[in-house]
Amino acid sequence: MAEKFIVTPCGALRGSIEIGGAKNAVLPVLAAALLTEQPCTLQNVPSLSDVESMRVLIESLGAKTRAAGEKGSITIDASDVTSLEASYELVGKLRASFLVMGPLLARFGQAKVPLPGGCAIGSRPVDLHLKGFAALGADIDHSHGFVTATANTLKGAKIYLDFPSVGATENIMMAAVLAEGQTVLENCAIEPEIVDLANFLNSIGGKIRGAGTDTIKIEGVPRLHSQNIKHSIIPDRIEAGTFMVAAAITRGDVTLTNVLADHVKPVTAKLKEVNVSVEESDDGIRVFCDTDTKAADLKTLPYPGFPTDMQAQFMSLLATAGGTSVITETVFENRFMQVGELKRMGAEIKIESRSAIIEGVKNLTGTQVAASDLRAGAALVLAALRAEGITEITGIHHIDRGYDRLDLQLNQLGADIKRIIE
Ligand code: EPZ
């Protein structure tokens, strides 16, 4: 049943919000749980539809999962993997499903996964993942829309990534953890989610050094063991950034708890640049703003640059800033899907190749808009909090993929968002 948000502008958001576990950390860790034949428990797992999709996928391969007592804990037992093929239907729901390829190839010497299609933000190729598997000695076969990787044994190799791809870094790291010998992964991604995955793999017997730098060294081990390990997922830096912008756009005063300040530094720096106050303390991060915000230029880059996953949300803030801003999206080729909808709300934005030129306007106006993807949807919610008049947002299933009831969380801070069946 499709649902939509009815957003009534709310004035300043105030209060405190606890940040949940990171979607982009728990998805690769759930895939990595396939590497060990003993149970392991994950904590601080967010309740998101993407996480549910990954759980269903690993269960379709034979893994067993169950709630493990306290909220947000899940135990995975992959002792009995019965299939090495991920179904087209399940992978179609979640591109990150491609991350099961590395673990299956490492542990069983074979994996068959549908080539994930493109999505709203770009073609999303996986060539770097496959080049890494081939460098480790796997034979890669493409047929009928599936990719099959096979290898009797994987041998450690020196691999240089053409682009610091997050997914390729994760997939190759998971394949290399059981390979014979040492793998050196250079020009790899350094996102915090990479470090979380490496910490999980090391907690089940992996030997990985350098995660968080552009060179990761992996000493292959014969097998992994996870008897009773518990791994807590890092907080979601993109959820945190989204609430930081929510506080700024409504001229509010919001404190975020359970957040790692280091992980949101690029967003903090950009908010300060546009006249928003950000204070870090042991209690968390306080974001407040009682003046007009300024324009700023912004370029998305791999970590620690400004995150592409925060680009749309920040555009909503710049749309009502005084002056002209330029946003350049360097990571994905089509990540301005929110522009059309923001323009329907009165924003003045012009796209020129990979840049969006934003002329700040005094006010946006509420109307009917549609979410096209996860972060574009979040950007529309943020714009609606500030717009004059009521905004109706359809396609909110995109938002539920990466936020655990964004409507309820914002309402806790004073927003007025109704979720109704279309
Ligand atoms: C991860 O996607 C995140 N998803 C994305 O978050 C995030 O936007 C992205 O990293 C960048 O930070 C998860 O972690 C589940 P990439 P991923 O491989 O791994 C090109 C969200 O909103 N590329 O770093 O797919 C690719 O086309 C989502 O939470 C290749 O060319 O990102 C893109 O232009 C959206 N060949 C660039 O690299 C490859 O083999 C970055 O992609 C792989 C990637």
Give residue 168 CA to ligand 1 midpoint distance, Å.
Answer: 8
Give residue 135 CA to ligand 1 midpoint distance, Å.
Answer: 21
CA distance 139 to 149: 6
pLDDT over 90 (residue 1): no
pLDDT, averaged across the chain: 96
Residue in 244, 257, 184, 242 with CA at minimum distance from that of residue 216:
184
- pLDDT of res. 208: 98
Give residue 198 CA to ligand 1 midpoint distance, Å.
Answer: 18
The residue nearest atom 7 of ligand 1, judged by CA position, is: 309
Give residue 376 CA to ligand 1 midpoint distance, Å.
Answer: 16
- pLDDT of res. 22: 98
Helices (H), 356-415: 374-386, 397-400, 406-412
The residue nearest atom 17 of ligand 1, judged by CA position, is: 167
The residue nearest atom 10 of ligand 1, judged by CA position, is: 166
- pLDDT of res. 407: 98
pLDDT confidence bin for 228, thresholds 50/70/90: confident
Residue 421's H or E segment, with its range, is: strand 416-421
CA distance 348 to 166: 33
pLDDT over 80 (residue 268): yes
Return the amino acid letter for 210: G
CA distance 220 to 135: 15
pLDDT in tens, 51-82: 999 999 999 999 999 998 888 999 999 999 99
Give the pocket of ligand 1 (CB within 6 Å).
23-24, 27, 96, 122, 124-129, 163, 165-168, 189, 308-309, 331-332, 374-375, 402
CA of 374, closest atom in ligand 1: 22
- pLDDT of res. 120: 77
Residue 119 annotated in active site: yes
Give residue 165 CA to ligand 1 midpoint distance, Å.
Answer: 6
The residue nearest atom 38 of ligand 1, judged by CA position, is: 165
Q: How is residue 21 written in tokens?
A: 């576990």
- pLDDT of res. 124: 81
pLDDT in tens, 291-336: 999 999 999 999 999 999 999 999 999 999 999 999 999 999 889 9
CA of 166, closest atom in ligand 1: 24
CA distance 17 to 256: 5
Residue in 10, 40, 119, 188 annotated catalytic: 119
Q: What are phi and psi of 123, to 5 degrees?
A: -75, -25
pLDDT in tens, 166-215: 999 999 999 999 999 999 999 999 999 999 999 999 999 999 999 999 99
